[in-house]
Amino acid sequence: MDVEFVRAHRPLACVLGGTGFVGHHLVNHLVEHGWRVRVPSRRPQRHRELGVLPHVELVEANVHDPRILGRLLAGCEAAVNLVAVLNEERRGDFQRVHVELPRKIIQACQEQGVARLLHMSALNADPRGGLSRYLATKGEGEALVHAAPDVEVTSFRPSVIFGLGDHFFNRFATLLRLSPLVFPVACPGARFAPVYVDDVVSAMIHALDDRDTIGQRYELCGPHAYTLQSLVEFTARTIGVRRILLPLGDGLSRLQARLMQFLPGKPFTYDNYLSLQVDSVCRQGFPACFGIEPQPIEAIVPAYLAQRTLRGRYNQFRAVARHEY
């Protein structure tokens, strides 16, 4: 057995936002690396797949209530904050989730003696220079947790995160299938360096055991940068649909954002448009201290997008049949 999996006892970590895309992957990795995990959720019945994992405690809770938050962190050796919103359902959600909640988490950590905190920020987060409310409040929350006394913080600033269950490639795949012949692409020149979710959570778990990461803020990117136009083209090729991808200029991109933010689910908002005005690309490669060779989208995305196609589902059925018979 690999020595890194062997612990005298299983320490307890509370993962706030553990029912989300990154959270699912992180919880699984924590269990594999010898941790017990407490995962709060307002609707735990929707996430029973986590509750059946060994050493995972799925708790019904409102993490925005300071008294409940204190009870959630009681007995924990580490806390992880993954809670975020990309769009506001109600005015003030960015401030409430990205700033006020981290402040409550810090206070609860201090009161409960939880010395270690991993905090998920965002690439280009900046409390003063963030072009969007999303980036500005993300930066404010990041600055707040790093300034707190008596809590050892490591924060992570990823570009767009991809992997099984992501909200990036899967969303574009859905939109491409639903679109007619022409698919308009807003902000087509915006640049991203998509980073694989397993690489992100592996870095986070490494940080829990590496005291040299305390106080650090890590930018996390994949090995290659792409324009948004090229990422949509890649998605279309991968799922096998033919669409005319129409790159929109700045004026039409702004107009699309102002119109689509009123649609159910807010697929694209003006705040999203503002975030896209700065490239989501790291200044350096993946931090060497984690010993991770980041995976490119070409090696990972086709496998899980294929599951969304009829052929992919057919191949899954064949695989199951081979195992059953």
Whether residue 185 is found in the same domain as residue 306? yes
The pair of three-digit structure tokens given for residue 5, joined into one six-digit string: 């999996």
Q: Which domain holds residue 80?
A: 3-158
Whether residue 175 is found in the same domain as residue 99? no
Q: What CATH number does residue 174 fall under? A: 3.90.25
pLDDT, position 192: 98
pLDDT, position 3: 32
pLDDT, position 265: 87
Q: Which amino acid, one-letter code, is at 60?
A: E
Q: What CATH number does residue 79 fall under? A: 3.40.50.720
Whether residue 243 is found in the same domain as residue 110? no
Mean pLDDT in runs of 10 for the chain (325 residues)? 50 98 98 98 93 95 97 98 96 98 98 98 95 97 98 98 97 94 97 98 98 98 98 97 97 97 93 98 97 98 82 46 37
pLDDT, position 214: 98
Whether residue 139 is found in the same domain as residue 188? no
pLDDT, position 319: 42
Helices (H), the chain: 21-32, 48-51, 66-73, 93-95, 101-112, 133-147, 169-178, 197-208, 228-239, 250-260, 270-275, 297-306, 310-324
pLDDT, position 40: 98
Is 260 a domain residue?
yes
Is 43 a domain residue?
yes
Burial of 110 (0-12, 13-18, 19+ CB in 10 A): middle
pLDDT, position 307: 78
The pair of three-digit structure tokens given for residue 104, joined into one six-digit string: 């409550």
Residue with tokens 């009870």: 71
Kindly state the helix (H) or strand (E) to which residue 119 belongs, with its residue range: strand 116-120
What Cα–Cα distance (Å) separates residue 257 from each residue in 135, 136, 252?
17, 19, 9
Is 215 a domain residue?
no
Show Cβ contacts of residue 21 under 8 Å, excluding neighbours closer than 6 positions. 161, 163, 165, 166, 167, 197
Q: What is the DSSP string of 61-106?
A: --TTSHHHHHHHHTT-SEEEE----SS-SSTTHHHIIIIIHHHHHH
Is 201 a domain residue?
no
From CA 233, how far away is CA 237, in angstroms rounded? Answer: 6
Q: Which amino acid, one-letter code, is at 325?
A: Y
Q: What is the DSSP string of 210-237?
A: -GGGTT-EEEE--S--EEHHHHHHHHHH
**Quick one: how far is CA 46 from the chain centroid?**
19
Whether residue 107 is found in the same domain as residue 186? no
